[in-house]
Structure 1
């Protein structure tokens, strides 16, 4: 039985990065389709007012804490999370592990050209990595049907969906059985990082749990979104013990 803890109603699997990678790779061997969610404090707060998103997070096969704030909040829950499991690092570890295997990836999301650039760079970074298809995240209803058909035709082992939360989680939930991928993961803006358009915070910031601060000073237009962080902390403190 997988151990879980709850942060403001959102269930998180109590796993280390290595355990999360092993769990994700294990899903590839199971029957059916599976999806992985990587909520940070912003997504947790969004789920509190979005019943559909909360339901999806509760049904996901694996939910990992992509945010040091979530790990901090777990000290007020029944079970503490062991470490942050960033979605970007999870996908990087999966690509590194599976590059020598027959498992395949499909990159879906981002601005035009970003997923394709990300795919080229990842195949160079991980020799042997098999990325069987890419598509940007801009589409209408007609184009969406073509995207679904293309993913189904390519039959990737792992579908990475970078449409931003909560759109990507809802898209995965609605379409995973149509596209046929074994595992789908919502990856937010990861394609921009993979493509080199956005730089991750230096390791020292990530080690100290200050990646959010680095994003704020390098992308000041995010300040409105960042306002959810203190609201998240206050909500956790106000509801602790309930």
Structure 2
């Protein structure tokens, strides 16, 4: 697929050339359930302002964002930006929640799931908790995220052999989406999705922001209070807001 949102079977808003889905959570889950049923590989990005700013600095990252099969508005800053340019999305579709909705669907349908990323300790703890929460899901494999480029073929072969319906990848923003994009065809998984720090929260290492923080789009602040070392990364958020206001209608144009 190209970055042309007209080719997509769902409504989108193009923010700096990235086609964000306007679907709500329910419709997003239905769309991805169909992808699993049809065994058609889909690369899903949970898009946020940090990713959009990274794409502005890198043509390769921009291309990765533009060509994803589905980009959901994960960050509250994206929801705000779409509303600011009068092309609102239905709602914020948080990656953490989308992951759990897909697992809920997989629990009913006996889907196979592969977990890839983070440290072995966090991965094992997250795996154990998810197995308990979703007993109907077949957890067909797991591997930590500490592997090098030369290990890619081995990792891909493991995933191919496991034949999952869902692949959740928890690595850094810098290599999570590029890795999935590079190996999409070889992996051939119906739904491949980067989930960032979700395994940290599931394992109990980090706490998710309380509902009141999420309601007012302040999840980033709660995360910052837990991990002060992320402050430099969080400086991107006000920079993004200033850029959107300054750019006006240019936000809707492709690069």
TM-score (structure 2 length as normaliser) = 0.91
Match of 2:78 in 1: 70
In 2: Cα distance, 1:216 partner to 1:141 partner: 31
User: Which of 198, 215, 231 is matched with 2:206 structurally?
Assistant: 198
In 1: Cα distance, 2:150 partner to 2:56 partner: 32
In 1: Cα distance, 2:150 partner to 2:175 partner: 18
Write out per-residue CA displacement over residues 99-127 of structure 1, whole angstroms, 9 at most, x where no aligned residue. 12131110000012322221110010122
Q: Which 5+ residue runs of structure 2 have no aligned equivalent?
A: 1-8, 251-255
C-alpha spacing 1:30/1:59, structure 2 compared with 1 (3 Å): farther
Query: For 1:59-208, what aligned pairs fall within 5 Å after superposition?
Result: 59-77=67-85, 79-208=87-216
Query: For 1:8-87, what aligned pairs fall within 5 Å after superposition?
Result: 8-77=16-85, 79-87=87-95
Q: Is the CA contact 1:71–1:84 (under 8 Å) kept in the aligned structure 2?
A: yes
Write out per-residue CA displacement over residues 131-189 of structure 1, whole angstroms, 9 at most, x where no aligned residue. 11000000123432221111010010111111121311111111122122121001111
C-alpha spacing 1:31/1:156, structure 2 compared with 1 (3 Å): closer
Q: Is the CA contact 1:76–1:241 (under 8 Å) kept in the aligned structure 2?
A: no
User: Which of 229, 249, 254 is matched with 1:241 structurally?
Assistant: 249
In 2: Cα distance, 1:118 partner to 1:53 partner: 29
**Secondary structure in 2 matching 1:240:** helix
Write out per-residue CA displacement over residues 21-64 of structure 1, whole angstroms, 9 at most, x where no aligned residue. 11111211235311100111111111111111211221111110
In 1: Cα distance, 2:227 partner to 2:174 partner: 21
Q: Is 1:225 the equivalent of 2:230?
A: no
Query: For 1:209-224, what aligned pairs fall within 5 Å after superposition?
Result: 209-224=217-232
How big is the shift at 1:78?
5.2
Q: Is the CA contact 2:42–2:69 (under 8 Å) kept in the aligned structure 1?
A: yes
Q: Which has the higher contact order (CA 8 A, sep 6+)?
A: 2
**Secondary structure in 2 matching 1:241:** helix
TM-score (structure 1 length as normaliser) = 0.95
Residues 229-238 or 47-56, more deviating? 47-56
Q: Which 5+ residue runs of structure 1 have no aligned equivalent?
A: none
- CA-atom RMSD, angstroms? 1.4
